Amino acid sequence: MDFRKIGDTYYIRFDKGDEMVEGIKNICRKEGIVSAIYTGIGGCSSAEIQTFNPQKGSFETELFEGMLELVAFTGNVIAGEDGVRNHHTHALYAYVENGEHHVIGGHLKSSTVLYTAEIELRPVKGGAIHHELYPETGTHVWSFGSGDAAE
């Protein structure tokens, strides 16, 4: 993995074997980024895709492996009060199976790069976005409270 900050934006290149979600969170910790959004494309060898089941109040996870063309990758990182970086990431992958093209996607738990991934990371400026628990679903949502001192 390699990255550069140009202006206010970070450009990240992930290499074979790199895990993208943890890599983004690590960069945010290293660079002191409290909240940010990101997008990207690439080629991956595995992806753990999750779908939230509201009736159960939990995620159902499925692991996909093989040549997965990352056609859409978007999400955000938010630091909790304890400083831990949390993510909310969605991804869409295309792949070929038995000569037919398929697409999979959803909430992304993790994804390992096969040959490269190119990510644009944009930190939030002038404040911070936080998470709060949404009791109806048991999931976290953005919070725009007055505790925006950290940037």
Provide the residue ranges of all domains of the chain, joining segments of one domain with +.
Answer: 2-143
Q: Report whether 91 contacts 81 (CB < 8 A).
A: no
Q: Report whether 90 contacts 42 (CB < 8 A).
A: no
Query: What length does the chain have?
Result: 151
Opening angle at CA 93, ends 28 and 27, nearest 5: 10
**Strand pairing class (35-53; 100-123):** antiparallel
Tell me which residue has tokens 């002038």: 126
**pLDDT at res. 125:** 92
Q: Would you call 32 helix, strand, or coil by DSSP?
A: coil
Please identify every stretch of the chain with a pLDDT value under 50, giving residue numbers as ranges. 147-151
**pLDDT at res. 56:** 83
Q: Whole-model pTM?
A: 0.88
**pLDDT at res. 88:** 93
Structure tokens at 110: 């993790």
**pLDDT at res. 146:** 55
**pLDDT at res. 74:** 98
Domain 2-143's class? Answer: alpha beta
Structure tokens at 149: 């001192």
